[in-house]
Copies of this chain bind each other. A is one copy, B any other.
Amino acid sequence: MFDMADPTETPPALLELTTYLLSRVGKDARNRLAELLAADGLRLHHHAALAALADFGPHTQRDLATRLRLDPSDLAKAADQLAAAGWLDRTRDPADRRRLTLTLTPAGATRLAELDALARDVQDAVLAPLTAAERAVLHGLLLRVHG
**Residues of A in contact with B (beta carbons under 8 Å apart):** 1-2, 4, 7-15, 17-27, 29-30, 33, 48, 51-52, 54-57, 63, 66-67, 69, 116, 119-120, 122-123, 126-127, 129-130, 134-135, 137-139, 141-147
Contacts and interface: CB of A to CB of B under 8 A. Distances in A.
User: How many protomers of this protein does the assembly include?
Assistant: 2
Contact of A13 (B51, B127, B129): B51
Given A8-B67, A13-B55, A130 B146 contact: no
Contact of A26 (B11, B27, B120): B27
A19 B15 CA distance: 19
B19 A123 contact: yes
Interface centre among A4, A7, A18, A126 (most CB of B within 10 A): A18
A146 B29 CA distance: 11
Nearest to A10: B67
A57 B12 CA distance: 13
B123 A51 contact: no
